[in-house]
Amino acid sequence: MNTIEARICRILDDHASELAAFANDIYAHAELGYTEHRTAQRVADWLEHLCGLHPETGLAVTGVRAQVGTARPAVCLIGELDGIRCPEHPLAVPETGMSHACGHHMQLAALAGAALALSDPEIAAELGGSAVFFAVPCEEHVPMNRMAQLQQDGVADYCGGKPQLLMDRAFDGIDVAVTTHAHMVHCDSDFLLGSNSTSGFLSKLIRIKGRASHTAISPEKGINALDVVTLARSAIGMLRSTFRDEDCIRIGEVVRMRSTAVNVVPDEVIVDLQVRAKTWDALLETDKKIDRAYRGAAYAFGADVEITDGMGYLPTVPCLPCEALTQAASLLADADGNTFESVSPLVHNAASTDVGDLSHRMPVVNFTFSGFSGTLHGADFRITNEKAAYVQPAKLAALTIYRLLRDNAAQARALTDRFQPTMTAEQYRAYAARFDSGFVGEPSPF
Ligand SMILES: [Zn+2]
Ligand SMILES: [Zn+2]
Q: What does the pLDDT look like over 289-344, one tens digit per residue?
A: 999 999 999 999 999 999 999 999 999 999 999 999 999 999 999 999 999 999 99
Regarding whether 183 and 295 lie in a shared domain, the answer is no
Residue 445 pLDDT: 47
Q: Which ligand is nearest to the CA of 108?
A: 2
Q: Within a domain: residue 357?
A: yes
Q: Please report whether residue 146 resides in a domain.
A: yes
Does the pLDDT of residue 365 top 50, yes or no? yes
Do 158 and 57 reside in the same domain of the chain? yes
Verify that 291 and 420 share a domain, yes or no. Answer: no
Range 26-50 average pLDDT: 98
Say if residue 191 is in the same domain as residue 219.
Answer: no
Ligand 2 centre from 103 Cα, in Å? 6
Residue 102 CA to ligand 2 centre (angstroms): 5
- Specify the pLDDT at position 433: 84
Asked if the structure places residue 100 within a domain, the reply is yes
Number of domains in the chain: 2
How confident is the model over 2-29, as a mean pLDDT? 98
Answer yes or no: do 305 and 327 share one domain.
Answer: no
Q: Assess whether 296 and 307 both reside in one domain.
A: yes
Residues 383-387 have a mean pLDDT of 98
Q: Structural domain of residue 105, as residue ranges?
A: 3-198+315-430
Q: Separation of 162 CA from ligand 1 center, angstroms? A: 14
Ligand 2 centroid to Cα of residue 208, in Å, is: 33
Which residues have C-beta under 5 Å from ligand 2, the single-atom ion?
102
Is residue 435 domain-resident? Answer: no
Domain containing residue 285: CATH number: 3.30.70.360
In the reported structure, the alpha carbon of residue 181 is separated from the centroid of ligand 2 by a whole-number distance in angstroms of 6
Asked whether residue 379 falls in the same domain as residue 338, the answer is yes
CB burial class (10 A; 0-12, 13-18, 19+) of residue 430?
A: exposed
pLDDT band at 442 (very low <50, low <70, confident <90, very high): very low
Residues 100 and 155 in one domain: yes
Examine the pLDDT at 440 and tell me if it is beyond 50: no
**Overall average pLDDT of the 33-38 stretch:** 98
Domain boundary among 285, 313, 341: 313
Q: Please check whether residue 364 lies inside any domain of the structure.
A: yes
**In this structure, are 273 and 415 located in the same domain?**
no
Flag whether 437 is in a domain.
no
Taking only the tens place, the pLDDT of each residue in 267-278 is: 999 999 999 999
Instruction: Give the CATH number of the domain where residue 338 resides.
Output: 3.40.630.10
pLDDT more than 70, % of the chain: 98
CB 339 within 8 A of CB 190: yes
- Do 120 and 212 belong to one domain? no
Tell whether 65 is covered by a domain: yes
Average pLDDT, the chain: 95
Query: Around 38, how many Cα atoms within 13 Å sit in the side-chain half-sphere?
Result: 13
Are residue 37 and residue 130 in the same domain, yes or no?
A: yes
377 plus 240 within the same structural domain: no
| pLDDT tens, position by position, 50-73 | 999 999 999 999 999 999 999 999
d(C-alpha 51, C-alpha 201), whole Å: 38
Mean pLDDT of 182-209: 96
* d(C-alpha 136, C-alpha 233), whole Å: 37
User: Is 139 inside any structural domain?
Assistant: yes
Residues 6+ apart with CB under 8 A from 409: 73, 127, 128, 129
